[in-house]
Structure formats: structure tokens, C-alpha cells
Chains A and B, each alone.
Chain A
Amino acid sequence: MTSSSSQRARILCIPGLGVVRVRPKHIFTFPNGLIGFENLKEFVLVTSTRLEPLRWLIAVEEPTIGFPVLLPWHVVPEYELPAEYSDPHTFVPLVVVTTFTGSSHIVVNLKAPILLDVRRRQGQQLILPGDRYSATHPLGSVPQGVGSSPC
């Protein structure tokens, strides 16, 4: 009786972004969560033409928690993953964009990409070995004093 309800769209209201209708096919499972958010296991990637090329990785269980992400090649065209993740039809890395309170700087975390396995709809956050990529690769500055309203 309730089996069909799991296939129905779930409405998520995301503070500061808007509303999405999430279907099971959209959901990426993160068996280990994200680093620092190990308890969150399901995420969706939210897009909008007005956000592009940014996307927002939103925790389905806790939609107030979301991460702005970019494909790393927008920042570093020659970005490479370890050989075991190099199949571009299976693995897609996303890099987290971070802004700091009281500072205008935007950085991207090239060192710890979020790796999506689009075939298995799974995800994990890697920490790449070596010092080729920075966790705080500078991108630019945010204008100060611009706010946004909650959902």
C-alpha cells in the first residue's frame, strides 16, 4: 500500500535556493557521508540555469546542509583523478567552493574532491595524496554586504 509512495517525488525546500522535487533516481548514496558530515548518507545535486556553472549538493535528510560545487575543470583544465577513478563515464569529481565569514575570498578544495559514481549512484569524498592540489585553491572574491533570504 505504501510501496508506491517511495517512488513519488519528495519536495525539498532548500533555504536560500528554492524548491526541488526529488525522485529516487536523483539520489546519490554516500556510504561514509562527507568528511565532517559522516551521518548524512543521501545527497542530490541541485541545478539551475541561474546557478551555472555552480551546483549545490544538498543533503536529502537535512536540506539546510548544502555544498556549492563545481566541476574541477572549470578551475584547472588539466585536473586529474587517480587512475582507478579515471573513467569519465563512471566517475565525476566535484570540488567544494568555500567562502569565509569576514573575508571576501572564495576558494575551491581541489585536494578533497567529492567523487560521484554515476553508474552506481554513489558518492564519496576523497583526499588525494601528494601536494599537487590545494585544499584552498584561490578563485576570487565575493562582494561584501550582499545577503540572501531564507527559503
Chain B
Amino acid sequence: MLVLSRKVGEEIAIDGIVTIRVLSVERGIVRLGIEAPRGIGIYRRELYRRIEELNRQATTAQALPLVTALRSVRLYTVAPSTELPSVPLVEESSMAIDDRPREH
């Protein structure tokens, strides 16, 4: 990790496109001002980690229990404003065979 010391009012340039300025330091809290072009995501690290964690957990979802559960959840009807390019399942393996006993 690169370590730099900066005083209040001083800045750090990253790649010439991002500028971070130390605005104030009070009682252990540093306030930073950040300038960056649009499209660069700037987040508190812990928020980014939380979204990462939720995404990772989402990949473990199993279709059948989730679909079954959602049937008992109140969802609103949505009229699509635009068609989403989607791929239809041509064979629904798990959904079709799910009730069969597992073979080992």
C-alpha cells in the first residue's frame, strides 16, 4: 500500500483524472472531497463489500424453492415498458426432475 501524508487542503491526484482533497480532520474523522469523472464508482468500502457479499450469496439460490416461495409473496403486476432481450429455457432440467428421488 502506498502511504502519503497530507495536510488539510492538500490533494492527491490519481492518474490525473481523480482528485482527493483532505477537507478536515477532527477527532479521528477525516473528511475527503473527491472529484472524478462520471462512470467511476466511488463508495464507502464497507458498502461495496456488503453488495459483494449479497451478490455472492444470491448465486447460491435454487430455482425451485425460490419460485415456489415467490408464489406466496405479494408481487405487483408490471407492464413492461420495453422488451428485455431474454433467452428462453429450452429444457428445464431441474424444474422437471426435481420431484424425483435423488440417485447416488
Binding site for B on A (CB under 8 A): 13, 15-23, 25-26, 28, 32, 34-37, 44-48, 50-51, 53-56, 65-68, 70-71, 73-75, 77, 88-90, 92, 96-101, 106-107, 109, 111-112, 116, 118, 121, 125, 127, 135-136, 139-143, 146-151
Contact = CB atoms under 8 A, between A and B. Distances in A.
Contacts of B100: 149
A48 B102 CA distance: 24
A16 B62 contact: yes
A97 B61 contact: yes
A143 B69 CA distance: 7
Contacts of B67: 50-51, 54
B32 to A, nearest CB: 16
Contacts of A65: 59
Contact of A45 (B73, B84, B96): B84
28 contacts: A13-B93, A17-B93, A21-B90, A36-B52, A45-B87, A47-B87, A50-B67, A50-B95, A51-B63, A54-B70, A55-B86, A67-B59, A68-B61, A71-B80, A92-B81, A96-B54, A96-B55, A97-B66, A98-B58, A99-B58, A127-B51, A140-B70, A146-B65, A147-B62, A147-B65, A148-B65, A149-B97, A151-B94
